[in-house]
Amino acid sequence: MSIGLVNMLSGGKAKQSNAATVTKDHQPEKTEPACQSNPLGNYIWDDVPDATKWADCVHCGLCLEACPTYQETGEEQNSPRGRVYLIKSVAEGKIGLDEAFADPVYNCLDCRACETACPANVQVGGLIEEARGQINQSMPLSGVSGTFKKTVLNQFFPHKKRMEKLGGLMRFYQKSGLQKAARKAGVLSVMPDHLKDMEATLPKAGKPILGRYPEVIPAEGKTKGRVAVLTGCIMDVMFNDVNKSTVRVLTHNGFEVGLPPDQGCCGALHIHAGERDTGKELAKKNIEAFKDYDKILVNAAGCGCALQEYDELFRNDPEMLPLAKEFSAKVEDITKFLYDNDFKRPHSEVNTTVTYHDACHLAHGQGVRSEPRQILNDIPGVETVDLPDADRCCGSAGIYNLTHPEMAGKLLDRKIDDMPDNIDMVSMGNPGCMLQIAMGVQKYGRKEKVVHTIQLLDWAYEKDKQKMHEYEL
Amino acid sequence: MFRKKRNKQKPDTAVKQLMGIVGEENVLYLKEDLLAYECDGYTLERGMPRAVVFVRNTQHVSDVVKQLNELEIPYIARGAGTGLSGGATPMGGEVIISLVRMKRLLHLDLENRQAVVEPGYINLKLTQSISDKGYYYAPDPSSQYACTIGGNVAENSGGAHCLKYGVTTNHILGLEVVLPSGEIIEIGKSGVPDQPGYDLLGLLTGSEGTLGIVTKITVNILKNPEGKKTVLAYFDDIDDASQAVSDIIATGIIPAALEMMDQIAIEGVEASAYPVGHPSDIAAFLLIEVDGIQAGIDDQINEILTVCKSNHVRDVKVAKDEAERSMWWANRKMGFGAMGAISPDYLVQDGVIPRTRLPEVLASINAISRKYELRIANIFHAGDGNLHPLILFDASVPGESDRASKAGSECLQVCADVGGSITGEHGVGIEKSAEMRFIFSDEEMAAQTDIRHVFNPDDLLNPGKLFPEPGRCVEVKHEEKKEAIG
């Protein structure tokens, strides 16, 4: 089917007088027939972006200064408003699905800060992810895989520090299933042998809890309720201490914790990268794995947000959509759940000064801001100090710090620069941020300990338990 | 950059020359990048620029302007592009000189209550950066989260609080300007208000980027008022609300802000990211703020409450704390953008009318709404008679954009007919240039274009804006621009 024909069939969406001529210049290079039954302008691939999302944008520009990439570049095409405009322009046939369009779409951190700023609740994140899905299908070779290849080869090998960063993440990739994508790009085959050694130099993480802990962990004392926990990939591989804390905190609060063994990666990184098909496969797995639970708790903001948006992922799949909606409604961040369920206030003091960093997918993605702060404030002895611009992205943004090291580095520099002096810890609710900020702390020779909010609560409870134990003796 | 550019468009000679001045990384010329610059906050008319140049300093601006003069290429200065009349929108083929990377606060002189900023400095950042010292910058357009002070100077922006504190021009003490010749001049050198000689500051402020490019701005900053209280009043009848506005002003109180929203506007902000919980069945609300010396504020508030009650207010309340006050204001300031939540597109108009004529003007706007079968919301800086009818339409429906444009024009005609004006704070730009005929004769406009020619003799700087060109009308411009893009 020719693109001109597709445009005609799309119901006159490509209505601009210049649309036809422009379209000719920008035919996608892949010549396989489009499998999309309802194409939209130059979006001819499966799972077209949602026109109702850009219809909400009136181009007012209130999102501009909320956007970290706009703050850094001042470029309209690298702003939320500009990106939405370009995404819409492809549907109108003004531009094609090509590299020049892909640049601004992939430069986005998908941090959702624009969604907080937007008066009309435009779902920019969803649009970006949908557009990336189209780009990926249109240009598989120069798409994300190509980027992996290019950035890893050109941006990482020459820089030792960046390599360390990459080495640490590699284990995660193996577990998460992203390995497959990376293999396709030839990343693994070109990894030097000493990468394994680099991995060994990373702080030794404990062993994952999924598969080691029992499937059901009973509540301490009287059972208040029954919840499931997503153990995640990076969380369970690199920060399984946080998962252990999560289980302890929940059981201490009277909840029976289920760890469904068939759960897997949430697919957030794949969806962010435009690998929507893989994302959907993973989502289906999780929807099945958690079907016996009414509440699914997540301690990784990025994962939680992705799970809450499974309905968005299956927007064009009438069969999966009701299941996804039902699933997404059950998902909640661990701090919000505890706060809403009147968590046990610890009595023991944890004498420390903490600043709290808002993970993008917690603050902007899920609207969870006050609950984790409230938990910190309710721990005796914890003194909290405000972090200026706490909800500005740290640059981690999934795999962004690998694909866009320069921009990610700038944002990390700003984040570390904003961190108040004389604090002992930085608390947050997302493993990607924890890795990124830990890297920043190290880079600038600072001493702060990077912790998950739930760990602080766990430590306070543990002190309580220890005291109880002492009394009993 | 991120992706390999196959079939990459090559920069032309002009672009290469500009790159020679500002560096390759500071020029955009790919079609996909430029497309995002084809309009500002006013989206009804669009045109493609030839390139976008990011300047870092005054010398860059001067050098770029000189180069473009030599090449006889027209150019436009652009800030954040939040303007609502197309002032930063190309007519087709201009080079955009983007000032957003000139965004430093250069100097702060609290003793003399002055700040010097670059044009790309964000309006709200100025207040944020001095609030801990007890100061603020008064002009507060609703786009202040994102708009630049340079853009505010170009448009002479107002805001909710200009009723008491005046618009941008009342807060500008000095400007550094690059003239279309490339010459760099300073106006109001010592930052002293009201210098002898002609009021060039006044002329430049609000000239919509047609006389020069501002590269440095000295602004007046104010001490935070000692006290501040805010009232929200719900009315079942818009005439009562209008009468309350007139009665409040008649008491002699000058509120810091006196805002009104009608039912459709309320529907919009309640569907937005910052709903307050306004009742959906009220005809209008008033948002009234009083500030100043602490003593006396309560008396003024009481007087305002009395006025509201005597005008059959359904419910009236004083903000109980700063959080509630901020919520009311966030809700109000999201007003325009919030229209996206209830309509795919909107066109905002910016008429000024005598306060007392509000009921009849609203009735006329209602009639226009029925005539064109388009919903019209009204957000109103009621205290100073600045009315913003928001015409809701769907650009993807054939003919609706044209109808919206005509409805907007008729709204302005109504404002002009009652002795008002076609713009209060958004500027004329492309949008309202034809409507300048509603309030100026040909001779009056010719006198003004003569002034433009003194500064901008070749008309290379922001051509086609502000004044109608003979024999042109909005529809014609639409067609021409389409050709330019094609």
The tens digit of pLDDT for each residue in A204-241 reads 456 788 888 999 999 999 999 999 999 988 788 778 88
Residue B9 pLDDT: 81
Q: Does B2 touch chain A (CB under 8 A)?
A: yes
Residue A91 pLDDT: 95
Comparing A147 with A370, which gets the higher pLDDT? A370
ipTM of the complex: 0.91
Q: In tens digits, what is the pLDDT along chain B, a chain of 486 residues?
A: 344 444 568 899 999 999 999 999 999 999 989 999 999 999 989 999 999 999 999 999 999 999 999 999 999 999 999 999 999 999 999 999 999 999 999 999 999 999 999 999 999 999 999 999 999 999 999 999 999 999 999 999 998 888 999 999 999 999 999 999 999 999 987 667 667 888 999 999 999 999 999 999 999 999 999 999 999 999 999 999 999 999 999 999 999 999 999 999 999 999 988 899 999 999 999 999 999 999 999 999 999 999 999 999 999 999 999 999 999 999 998 888 888 889 988 899 999 999 889 889 999 999 999 999 999 999 999 988 999 999 999 988 999 999 999 999 999 999 999 999 999 889 999 999 999 999 999 999 999 999 999 999 999 999 999 999 764 333 333 444 444 433
For A8-44, the pLDDT digits (tens) are: 333 333 333 333 333 334 444 444 444 445 788 999 8
Partner residue facing B341 (CB), from A21, A63, A121:
A121
Q: Which two tokens stand for residue B327?
A: 């919520």
For A259-280, the pLDDT digits (tens) are: 999 998 899 988 988 889 989 9
C-alpha–C-alpha distance, residues A359 and A306, integer Å: 14
Cβ atoms of residues A15 and A92 within 8 Å: yes
Helices (H), A56-157: 68-73, 80-91, 99-107, 113-117, 124-138, 144-151
C-alpha–C-alpha distance, residues A279 and A266, integer Å: 8
Average pLDDT estimate for A142-168: 43
Q: B6: nearest CA in chain A?
A: A99
Average pLDDT estimate for A192-200: 33
Residues A120-140 as b or e (16 or more Cβ within 10 Å = b): bbbbbbbbbbbbbbbbbbbbe
Residue A170 pLDDT: 52
C-alpha–C-alpha distance, residues A46 and A138, integer Å: 10
Q: Which two tokens stand for residue A141?
A: 């070779």
Average pLDDT estimate for A134-160: 54
Residue A202 has pLDDT above 80, yes or no: no
Number of A/B CB contacts below 8 angstroms equals: 158
Q: Does A386 touch chain B (CB under 8 A)?
A: no
Residue B141 pLDDT: 93
Cβ atoms of residues B253 and B303 within 8 Å: yes
Partner residue facing B334 (CB), from A75, A89, A119:
A119
Residues A328-353 as b or e (16 or more Cβ within 10 Å = b): bebbbbbbbbbbebebbebebebebe
Residue A169 pLDDT: 57
Average pLDDT along chain A:
82
Q: Does B273 touch chain A (CB under 8 A)?
A: yes
Residues in chain B: 486
CB count within 10 Å of CB B69 equals 16
For chain A, the farthest-separated pair of C-alpha atoms sits apart, in whole angstroms, at 85
For A409-460, the pLDDT digits (tens) are: 999 999 999 999 999 999 999 999 998 898 888 888 898 999 999 999 999 9
Q: Does A13 touch chain B (CB under 8 A)?
A: yes
Residue A98 pLDDT: 87
Partner residue facing B143 (CB), from A61, A106, A151:
A61
Q: Does B345 touch chain A (CB under 8 A)?
A: yes
Tokens 């090291």 identify what position?
A: A405
Q: Which two tokens stand for residue A449?
A: 């300990």
Residue A128 has pLDDT above 90, yes or no: yes
Residue A341 pLDDT: 97
Query: Which residues lie below 8 Å from residue A300, measured CB to CB, with a gap of 6+?
Result: A230, A232, A234, A235, A266, A429, A430, A431, A432
Q: Tell me the percentage of chain A whose pLDDT exceeds 70.
A: 78
For chain B, the farthest-separated pair of C-alpha atoms sits apart, in whole angstroms, at 71
Q: A102: nearest CA in chain B?
A: B3
Q: Does B320 touch chain A (CB under 8 A)?
A: no
Residue A177 pLDDT: 52
C-alpha–C-alpha distance, residues B69 and B460, integer Å: 7
Q: Is the pTM of this model over 0.90?
A: no
Residue A114 has pLDDT above 80, yes or no: yes
Q: Tell me how close the Cα of A86 comes to any Cα of chain B, in angstroms.
A: 7
Residue A375 has pLDDT above 70, yes or no: yes
Q: Tell me how close the Cα of A325 comes to any Cα of chain B, in angstroms.
A: 22
Partner residue facing B36 (CB), from A82, A107, A142:
A82
Q: Which two tokens stand for residue A13?
A: 């969406």
Q: For residue A303, what is the DSSP state? A: H
Cβ atoms of residues A117 and A63 within 8 Å: yes
Cβ atoms of residues B201 and B216 within 8 Å: no
Q: Does A159 touch chain B (CB under 8 A)?
A: no
Q: Is the dihedral of CA A458, A460, A465, A469 positive or negative?
A: positive
Residue A3 pLDDT: 36
Residue A206 pLDDT: 66
Range from A80-94, A199-213, A378-392, B400-414 carrying the lowest mean pLDDT: A199-213
Enumerate residues 59 to 118 of chain A having a beta carbon within 8 A of any beta carbon in chain B.
59-66, 74-77, 79, 81-83, 85-86, 89, 94-95, 98-104, 106-107, 116-118
